[in-house]
Structure 1
Amino acid sequence: MNQPLAYIHPEAKIAQNVVVEPFTTIDKDVEIGEGTWIGPNVTIMSGARIGRNCKIFPGAVISATPQDLKFAGEKTTAHIGDNTVIRECVTVNRGTVDRQKTVVGANCLLMAYVHIAHDCIIGDHCILANTVQVAGHVEIGDYAIVGGSSAVHQFVRIGQHAMISGGSLIRKDVPPFVKAGREPLTYSGINSIGLRRRGFSDQKIAEIQQLYRLLFLSGLNNAAALDQIELELSPSPERDEVVNFIRNSGRGVIKGYSRGGNGGIE
């Protein structure tokens, strides 16, 4: 639908059944898939790659240049997966030379005023509640939920199926399958309700709980706890996901149940 009160660059590649509402601007080097709805007063800049059946609400800005002083105008992109909903005034910046792209996966919900900075990789089925602010180079795994008004430090990783309390300052990596809250951000148990909703069996959830007991409650340091996990628990995709996540952590992971300290287990 070619809305006469919208500006669409003639080089933009837009599927025939995309709806573009009035006063929206779509620049060149933009691709938009079938069935997507672009609301009024949306700005879609060069480098945007938007999938099928997305909904983008008023005031959103997709693929603006990075807020990075090192950015030198290189050709980069911002990708939005199929069926993703982007609410009012969300901003998604395109990548830099580091990764060349910013990615928001399929079936995600970015609530109002969320910011996704350059070179972030957001998985599928993620929910970022109102005003979540995500700095550059962050990675968020599939099915993760970040509560409203949280701020994510650059280069942080959030594991799949994690759930983080609203108002959190996320300075350290958050491992898969956990709940995290308090200040400083602390392990608060397993995201058992979310895991059950997604088909994890009670036995599998119990295995994940035992894994995190060894990691956070045994009194062992991370290296020793991971060795114990590999010794006591049979190999599984979930066990290996957690072990590899922690071993590859660049910023260190959040700490166990809070008794003071500096906000993270090194």
Structure 2
Amino acid sequence: MIHPQAVVDPRAELADDVTVGPFAVIGADVRIDSGTTIGPHAVIEGPTRIGKDNRIYQFVSLGAAPQDKKYKGEATELIIGDRNLIREYCTFNRGTVQDLGYTQVGDDNWIMAYVHLAHDCVVGNHTIFANGATLAGHVTIEDYAILGGFSLIHQFVRVGAYAFTGMGSAVSRDVPPYVTASGNLAKPHGLNAEGLRRNGFTGEQISRLRHAYKTLYRAGLRLEEAMDALRADAGHPEIERLLRFLESSKRSIIR
């Protein structure tokens, strides 16, 4: 399953059915689980852990040292889960000891060409990153979020679950769950209602989230006042998710 023109370090650990294309380079301290395919000319450096049934295309660079001037060669990690699709020219860097010590990608993510994940980023499950989406360091992208092409996410920013960023958005503050954001700098542009419908949210849930969006953005309330109003509707999981996000925001949210 390993092409004779691939270079695999003897200290790498690959499951028996991993496929490695020609001219790919797999470094030491790389572990790749069963069913994963590595395309031609891909370069994977360690320490890196890659799960099952991932499809990694040609010319991808995974596990390179973080682009951080404080990095001094520490053995930080890149961790990738299962069933991810990673297209051409993506670059995922390892973490730094100043933060998490790892960069992590969950399961079932669809990551298109030229996407960059900097150090200490955490990507959840079932996300979609369109071509050229770029994460600075220390970014968190929650489950089912979608980043439009060439979205730029500032360091330490979080993008909430089921949120959506439009093409070319520059995001410098947290994007709450369920919200559509776009622009440079990104501003809120309504609820991601179509994304919610596609992911099985009921009409009642979407109606409740529309009301929450209006409370947060259109009622003329300060953020703390809006959060107090939202707490009155606590008990619904989708509202509780939104409140947890708002309460834990360190950079504040797009407004």
Q: CA deviation at 1:44?
A: 0.3
Question: Aligned partners of 2:11, 2:182: CA distance in 1, in Å?
Answer: 46
Q: CA deviation at 1:110?
A: 1.3
Note the 1:127-206 alignment, pairs <5 A: 127-206=128-207
Question: Aligned partners of 1:184, 1:20: CA distance in 2, in Å?
Answer: 41
Question: Aligned partners of 2:235, 2:207: CA distance in 1, in Å?
Answer: 14
SS in 2 for 1:207: helix
Q: CA deviation at 1:107?
A: 0.7
Count of aligned positions: 254
Q: CA deviation at 1:7?
A: 0.5
Q: Which amino acid aligns with 2:56?
A: I
Q: CA deviation at 1:27?
A: 0.5
Q: Which amino acid aligns with 1:13?
A: E
Q: CA deviation at 1:196?
A: 1.2
SS in 2 for 1:193: helix
Q: Which amino acid aligns with 1:6?
A: A
Note the 1:32-51 alignment, pairs <5 A: 32-51=32-51
Q: Which amino acid aligns with 1:38?
A: I
Moved more, 151-160 or 238-247: 238-247
Q: Which amino acid aligns with 2:249?
A: S
2:254 corresponding residue in structure 1? 254
Structure 1 unaligned regions, length at least 5: 256-266
Structure 2 unaligned regions, length at least 5: none
Query: Does the Cα contact within 8 Å between 2:170 and 2:183 map onto a contact in 1?
Result: no
TM-score (norm 1): 0.93
Question: Aligned partners of 2:8, 2:215: CA distance in 1, in Å?
Answer: 56
1:66 corresponding residue in structure 2? 66
Q: CA-to-partner distance for each residue in 1:173-200, whole Å, 9 max, x for gaps? A: 0000111123331111111111111111
Q: CA deviation at 1:36?
A: 0.7
Question: Aligned partners of 2:184, 2:156: CA distance in 1, in Å?
Answer: 20
Does residue 1:105 correspond to 2:81, yes or no?
no
Question: Aligned partners of 1:181, 1:117: CA distance in 2, in Å?
Answer: 22
Question: Aligned partners of 1:20, 1:211: CA distance in 2, in Å?
Answer: 48
Q: CA-to-partner distance for each residue in 1:198-219, whole Å, 9 max, x for gaps? A: 1111001111111111111110
1:263 corresponding residue in structure 2? none
Question: Aligned partners of 1:107, 1:244: CA distance in 2, in Å?
Answer: 24
Query: Does the Cα contact within 8 Å between 2:168 and 2:183 map onto a contact in 1?
Result: no
Aligned-residue sequence identity (percent) comes to 43
2:55 corresponding residue in structure 1? 55
SS in 1 for 2:92: strand
1:96 corresponding residue in structure 2? 96
Runs of 4+ residues over 6 Å off in structure 1: none
Q: Which amino acid aligns with 1:44?
A: I
Question: Aligned partners of 1:113, 1:64: CA distance in 2, in Å?
Answer: 15
RMSD value, Cα: 0.9
Q: Which amino acid aligns with 1:175?
A: P
Moved more, 148-157 or 183-192: 183-192
Q: CA-to-partner distance for each residue in 1:108-153, whole Å, 9 max, x for gaps? A: 1111111000000000011111111110000000000000011110
Question: Aligned partners of 2:81, 2:11: CA distance in 1, in Å?
Answer: 21
Question: Aligned partners of 1:184, 1:151: CA distance in 2, in Å?
Answer: 10
Question: Aligned partners of 1:237, 1:228: CA distance in 2, in Å?
Answer: 16
SS in 2 for 1:102: strand
SS in 1 for 2:243: helix
SS in 2 for 1:136: coil
SS in 2 for 1:67: coil
Q: Which amino acid aligns with 2:138?
A: H
2:84 corresponding residue in structure 1? 84
